[in-house]
């Protein structure tokens, strides 16, 4: 940690800061410059992280040197993590292809969509049973009935399933049905929910909040990891931008940033990032080329009848087309779509 | 609702859209332009809000004409609402002056701060017992012990108290101790939490999320209102911006925007909006001048020992200084700081 | 300047950095921490500003300690500057009330508007002769004919005039007619233009670019100041934000930020910041309450016939109403609208 | 164009709007809904574009249906344009690989870098002679001497050259030396400069401004096209974002957006978009995968001695590595790096 003092700081103020540092068992290393005085803090920076040094008179700026996350950092785990979702691998050269409708709307429809995306190459089935809707008057999802349908259809097609949980009181319920639990963008800093999913051992798909920096995303992952659940997969799904031509702003550079800072896998979600089917294929390819460990794309066989987010879904045939190119680009980078687990004999 | 069709749309596609509209009991009014065809939908637009018209082939754009919120709208309630927090009025010419430390750290300290802010003119005491911290390793608050202290100190000074709740499972607990419940920026779209506080009748202080538009904020208020709780006070506390010189970007224009669209009171929080004590006074005055129904400012008597957000707190004497100017500016606009309720005889 | 080295940096790399620093006549002060090594640079930081230290192997981060602007800084000029625009003072307790139509559209209309805004209390007349329009097909302004009209009407009413220049080849022309030269937001980093207006001695109204930080704005002011022209007035007029309900995002906190960093006056322009007449009055008051040295508001007597930006203009009677409240709020802060210069005897 | 009227608009107000429309030779088509009245305008929308309908009493919103650009639109030119830069093709399946140092610093250095990037596969050489620097005290470039060096080194290696112009007074000079003229991000809305480069017939590399939407970028291209110069290549180089971990926010989705709206080629510049060599390779690949017609990467053989932007340059060997992967990904999409023109016999 580096503490930059204000111009014209008094000796007394400097001493006060030094004493605070030393009282925590750390060493202060003073550099008096022509214009400014700076203090380098030597020792375990974590001890200082909850001390409001910046509030001390004479302090201009406090600059941390260590990242505020630990378990999520590359330093803690130099090799890339591979998260196993009931047999499907994510990371370490294996790509997750997560696909399905925005909301679960019934068994028949989900069955048709699951069959189509599996045929195209998807290896994880998604579908929302509890939907975070901006309007209290919009469709809120089928709840537990939806979870049952998702589980059944997943089993029928041999696809692991992922679904979102929004309420800490429902984590146990969702855990019972799903192979992977999704924490949505709006809940990325719902710390009660993060703590709750961290206390399970289910893989968690953690979506980046719309106003979260990459470090914020890693801090939220740290909440889950620090509860003992190591199975976290991050997801870039668009942040707030000023150009309303797209629903969000797809930050593809987050992918290599996460790779540099963390061992956790990261996938991309061009469906939510753009909200436009005409941009999803190009953005999916861009994500894979940037190094993503998977792609999340919403697919619906009749978007105009979808209960939620229909306009942003790809048709099954469009999805199949993108999958072909994803495979070719993955191959350029020496990666491949994770195979499905062998079907269990009954 | 206006539906803009794509150039070169076929008659068959136009008819399909018209049929969808009419099947919902609405009337479609077709305008064929030189370059584009548009359809005006006549009838109750709400019927269409969950229909994904945009996903129909040939549709270029769907433009809603009515606001998606109802109970929060000026149309529903032309007069400004006045929310009563245990005797302190917010709105309709009365200003709330909410102040106190970021976190409750103990009875003695809170007592000292409460006395100081009351003397300066604050009329509601704040203090966090459950803290939403970006890091799982940072101080998380005193929990129920903190709530008890807050209640006691509030009672001692005759100040109603407000505190944040983050977890739907704790709404009942917080409701027991607080006069007003705060939903923080990170939880503005935590719909489970909104529904839960909506089912109480306690006044709710709803803070704007960092990536929320003004309409998003009103939609979250609508969640609470639609549960039957009419006591919502909005709070502008800064959104994400590109200039890291301040913690957030203080969007003072949100105040008059809310006034035009809604009857709900709105206050400003320059402490979180800027994160800098040297900017808080000017931004507090700006908020009042823009028409805010109150100001939320964090005050601490020893910021360098604060457990949370110390660097952004004002000292009690700085707060007293700002309060003087706030009163003068409020007077220019014909408003005044709400008086405290008369002390209850025992 | 502080140089943070990467973890695991070699001694050789450290020495290489130290040598680079010393070769520039500066002193390097090494702090070896448990996890990181940092180097404090002692001496004239400016010598290092064009040296790409960050590109040296082993360097993680370079953190400047001094601001990159000099002439614009508070350190260089501790007292607030007062800029004199042909007798109207801006700064040091005097407010500029700049008003007029977006574009000059003819003598008669400008005469009527000038009379109205002067009666309401404006002290500088604005009007565009060269208009920066996003579309090449939009109205581009009257050019020199417009400048002549502006000069004549300004003289008739005894109001100094300000108008925008976009092309370095026209600075001389504009200088001939105007009392103050405006550099628009889109040209805030048009360095050729800044250099050219810096070589005049006319007061310059420098508008903040839509993606400029406060420091970027001060750096652009520095371009003008460094050419020898000390008469710079800054203007906050909205930056890019994600909520399209307003044209731009009004960053009122920029006002106190500039006051802390610089001696230059700063005014606000709620017309361009919001683009909405229904928000301009509240935002104007907010700007004055935040400490602005003036307000720029577009006024038109028939907005629906305006050649440019009609929808964002106030009517003269709306302007008169705002002016009353501006004066009251200015008085609270111990400021006043600058009086007009005494009329010259002929 | 669609005009949405305010609730409770009077018949008189409706008639006034209709008359304005009809007075321009257009037809107004009225739809009176239950809650709102809307007017569809039939005829040539361009006639209305400079009429401030929004300022008319009773008008709530004016929604254009046609894009405000014409020559840049896909409608005007359904086939993708291929821009020829002295024999190197950009667009239509051919990729431009533009590379070189940020600033021209001398013949010897440029020669070495040019040799290296050509060997790696670059087909256009870049180098700045006039540098837009945020600080007036930073290195401003070699000027005409730099242009001469660039021309000579380009000729020596058989590479066409591109360089930036910032001042309309220097367009003629730059045109004399360069094969392609760059308009930088800060000047994207410098309309005098756009008009000037539009009056040449040289290919123009138009970089997206940091606060420009995709439509803003196309409008700036329209300025150039409308002057008669059809040779415009767009460039995505990062926009303003809230996460300061990267210099700008790389908006890769702009690539497919431009492809849908326009026939103009678009390349990506991950050097300026990220400002970080450790992110450039992944972002370059993402751009090509998203459909870009080329990649602009800054390369320097000794970044720590670069006069400008050294820290963001790739080393020649890093560039060669990326080029290999770019070629593979281009092949997946059926594209290839444009070959160099055959050397001219002397």
Q: What is the pLDDT of residues D70-129, one digit of tens each?
A: 999 998 899 999 999 999 999 999 999 999 999 999 999 999 999 999 999 999 999 999
Residues of chain B with pLDDT under 50: none
Which stretch of DSSP H or E encloses residue A19? helix A11-23
Tell whether the model's pLDDT for residue C111 goes beyond 70: yes
Residue-level pLDDT at B185: 97
Q: Which residues make Cβ contacts (< 8 Å) with residue A230, sequence separation at least 6?
A: A71, A81
Nearest residue in B to A210, CA atom = B211
Chains that touch A (3 or more CB pairs under 8 A): B, C, D
Calpha distance C149→C157 (Å, rounded): 12
High-pLDDT (> 90) share of chain C, %: 74
Residue-level pLDDT at C40: 84
Q: Does C252 touch chain B (CB under 8 A)?
A: yes
Q: Which of C241, C253, C335 has the most B C-beta neighbours within 10 Å, making it the best mutation to test the interface with B? A: C253
Q: Which residues make Cβ contacts (< 8 Å) with residue A274, sequence separation at least 6?
A: A238, A246, A247, A248, A250, A280, A283, A312, D253
Tell whether the model's pLDDT for residue D63 goes beyond 60: yes
Residue-level pLDDT at A194: 98
Q: Which residue has the higher pLDDT, B84 or D23?
A: B84
**pTM, two decimal places:** 0.95
Tell whether the model's pLDDT for residue C346 goes beyond 70: no
D241 contacts in A (CB within 8 Å)?
239, 241, 249, 251
Tell whether the model's pLDDT for residue D244 goes beyond 80: yes
Q: Which residues make Cβ contacts (< 8 Å) with residue A324, sequence separation at least 6?
A: none
Calpha distance D92→D264 (Å, rounded): 10
Q: Does A291 touch chain D (CB under 8 A)?
A: yes
Using DSSP bridges, classify how beta strands D88-90 and D94-100 pair: parallel, antiparallel or unpaired: unpaired
Instruction: Provide the CB-side half-sphere exposure for A223 (13 A, CA).
Output: 27
Highest mean pLDDT among A299-308, B298-307, C82-91: C82-91
Query: In this predicted structure, which of C35-44, C191-200, D116-125, D296-305 has the lowest mean pLDDT?
Result: C35-44
Q: Is D322 exposed, middle or buried (0-12, 13-18, 19+ CB in 10 A)?
A: buried
Contacts 24+ apart (CB under 8 A), B152-155: B152/B107, B153/B107, B153/B110, B153/B111, B153/B114, B153/B125, B154/B114, B154/B125, B154/B179
Average pLDDT over residues D250-273: 98
Number of DSSP helices (H) and strands (E) in chain C, helices first:
10, 15
C207 in Cβ contact with C181 (< 8 Å): no
Closest partner residue to C274 (CB to CB) among B241, B253, B325 is B253
Token output for B218: 């009103």
Residue-level pLDDT at B346: 54
Residue-level pLDDT at C33: 74
Residue-level pLDDT at C321: 98
Token output for D173: 């000079």
Residue-level pLDDT at A206: 98
pLDDT band with cut points at 50, 70 and 90 for residue C36: confident
Calpha distance A283→A274 (Å, rounded): 8
Average pLDDT over residues C195-211: 97
Residue-level pLDDT at B50: 67
Could you tell me the end-to-end alpha-carbon distance of chain A, in angstroms, rounded to an integer? 59
Residue-level pLDDT at B235: 98
C209 contacts in D (CB within 8 Å)?
211
Q: Is C292 exposed, middle or buried (0-12, 13-18, 19+ CB in 10 A)?
A: buried
Q: A87's torsion region: left (phi>0), alpha (psi -120 to 50) or beta?
A: left
Using DSSP bridges, classify how beta strands B94-100 and B88-90 pair: parallel, antiparallel or unpaired: unpaired
Q: Does D186 touch chain C (CB under 8 A)?
A: yes
Calpha distance D41→B38 (Å, rounded): 10
8 Å CB contact of C286 and B287:
yes
In the block, tokens 């200015």 appear at C330
Average pLDDT over residues A272-287: 97
C192 in Cβ contact with C210 (< 8 Å): no
Å between C183 CA and nearest CA of chain A: 24
Residue-level pLDDT at D346: 54
Q: Is C312 helix (H, G, I), strand (E, B) or coil?
A: helix
Q: Where in A69-217 does DSSP place strands (E)?
A: 83-85, 88-90, 94-100, 124-126, 161-164, 180-183, 204-207
Calpha distance D18→D3 (Å, rounded): 10
Q: Does D250 touch chain C (CB under 8 A)?
A: no
SS in 3 state form for B76-134? Answer: CCCCCCCEEECCEEEECCEEEEEEECCECCCHHHHHHHHHHHHHHCCCEEECECCCCCC
Nearest residue in A to C4, CA atom = A65
Average pLDDT over residues D40-47: 78
| Distance, C-alpha D139 to centroid of its chain | 25
ipTM of predicted assembly, 2 dp: 0.94
Residue-level pLDDT at C338: 98
Angle at alpha carbon of residue A182, lines to A181 and A183, rounded to 5°: 125
Q: What is the rounded average pLDDT for all residues in chain D?
A: 93
pLDDT 10s digits, A60-107: 888 877 788 999 999 889 999 999 999 999 999 999 999 999 999 999
Tell whether the model's pLDDT for residue A250 goes beyond 90: yes
8 Å CB contact of A33 and C44:
no
Q: Give, as one character, the DSSP assignment of residue A75.
A: T
Q: Which residue has the higher pLDDT, C82 or B32?
A: C82
**Most distant CA pair in chain A: distance in Å?**
78
Average pLDDT over residues C160-166: 98
A338 in Cβ contact with A160 (< 8 Å): no
Would you tell me how many other CB atoms lie within 10 Å of the CB of residue A225? 24
8 Å CB contact of A31 and C44:
no
Q: Which of residues 68-107 of D touch B (CB under 8 A)?
A: 75
Q: Does B23 touch chain D (CB under 8 A)?
A: no
8 Å CB contact of C40 and A41:
no
CA distances from A22 to A29, A67, A207, C31 (A): 11, 22, 40, 16
D236 in Cβ contact with D268 (< 8 Å): yes
8 Å CB contact of C190 and D190:
yes
B282 contacts in C (CB within 8 Å)?
253, 255-256, 259, 289-291
Closest partner residue to C283 (CB to CB) among B250, B252, B273 is B252
In the block, tokens 């206006």 appear at B2
Tell whether the model's pLDDT for residue C117 goes beyond 60: yes
Calpha distance D28→B33 (Å, rounded): 10
Residue-level pLDDT at B239: 98
Nearest residue in C to A242, CA atom = C242
Q: Which of A21, A27, A40 has the most C C-beta neighbours within 10 Å, making it the best mutation to test the interface with C? A: A40
Residue-level pLDDT at D47: 74
Q: Does A251 touch chain D (CB under 8 A)?
A: yes
Å between A157 CA and nearest CA of chain B: 27
Q: Does B286 touch chain C (CB under 8 A)?
A: yes
Q: Which of B50, B42, B48 minimizes the C-alpha distance to B26?
A: B42
Q: Does A64 touch chain D (CB under 8 A)?
A: no
Chains that touch B (3 or more CB pairs under 8 A): A, C, D
Residue-level pLDDT at C74: 92
Backbone torsions φ then ψ of D148, nearest 5 degrees: -65, -45
In the beta sheet, which residues pair with residue A262? A73
Using DSSP bridges, classify how beta strands B59-63 and B83-85 pair: parallel, antiparallel or unpaired: unpaired
8 Å CB contact of C169 and D166:
no
Token output for B105: 């750290």
Which stretch of DSSP H or E encloses residue A132? none
pLDDT 10s digits, A118-159: 999 999 999 999 999 888 988 889 999 999 999 999 999 999
D173 in Cβ contact with D147 (< 8 Å): yes
Q: Does C176 touch chain A (CB under 8 A)?
A: no
Residue-level pLDDT at A345: 58
CA distances from A257 to A251, A272, A296, C5 (A): 10, 20, 19, 19
Tell whether the model's pLDDT for residue C46 goes beyond 80: no
Average pLDDT over residues D188-212: 97
Q: What is the rounded average pLDDT for all residues in chain A?
A: 93
Tell whether the model's pLDDT for residue A45 goes beyond 90: no
Average pLDDT over residues C83-97: 98
8 Å CB contact of D279 and A251:
no
Q: Is B138 helix (H, G, I), strand (E, B) or coil?
A: coil
Average pLDDT over residues A183-203: 97
């Amino acid at each position: 940690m580096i503490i930059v003092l204000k111009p014209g700081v008094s000796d007394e103020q400097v001493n006060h800061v030094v004493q605070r540092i030393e009282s925590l068992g750390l060493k202060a290393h003073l550099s008096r410059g022509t214009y400014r005085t700076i203090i380098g803090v030597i020792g375990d920076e974590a001890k200082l992280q909850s001390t409001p040094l910046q509030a001390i008179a004479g302090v201009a700026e406090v600059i941390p040197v260590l990242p505020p996350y630990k378990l999520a950092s590359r330093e803690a785990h130099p090799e890339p993590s591979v998260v196993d979702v009931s047999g499907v691998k994510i990371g370490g050269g294996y790509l997750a292809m997560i696909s399905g409708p925005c909301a679960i709307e019934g068994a028949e429809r989900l069955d048709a969509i699951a069959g189509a995306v599996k045929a195209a190459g998807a290896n994880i089935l998604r579908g929302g049973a509890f939907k975070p809707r901006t309007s209290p008057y919009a469709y809120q999802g089928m709840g537990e009935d939806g979870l049952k349908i998702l589980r059944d259809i997943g089993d029928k097609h041999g696809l692991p399933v992922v679904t979102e949980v929004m309420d800490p009181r429902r984590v146990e319920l969702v855990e019972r049905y799903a192979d992977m639990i999704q924490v949505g963008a709006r809940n990325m800093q719902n710390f009660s929910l993060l703590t709750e999913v961290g206390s399970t051992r289910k893989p968690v798909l953690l979506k980046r909040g719309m106003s979260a920096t990459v470090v914020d995303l890693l801090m939220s992952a740290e909440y889950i990891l620090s509860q003992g659940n190591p199975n976290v997969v991050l997801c870039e799904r668009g942040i707030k931008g000023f150009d309303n031509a797209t629903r969000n702003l797809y930050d593809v550079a987050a992918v290599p940033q996460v790779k540099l800072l963390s061992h956790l896998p990261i996938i991309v979600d061009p469906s939510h990032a753009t909200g436009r089917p005409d941009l999803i294929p190009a953005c999916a390819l861009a994500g894979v080329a940037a190094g993503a460990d998977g792609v999340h794309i919403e697919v619906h066989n009749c978007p105009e009848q979808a209960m939620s987010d229909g306009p942003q879904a790809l048709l099954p045939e469009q999805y199949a087309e993108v999958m072909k190119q994803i495979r070719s680009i993955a191959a350029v980078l020496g990666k491949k779509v994770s195979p499905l687990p062998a079907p269990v004999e009954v």
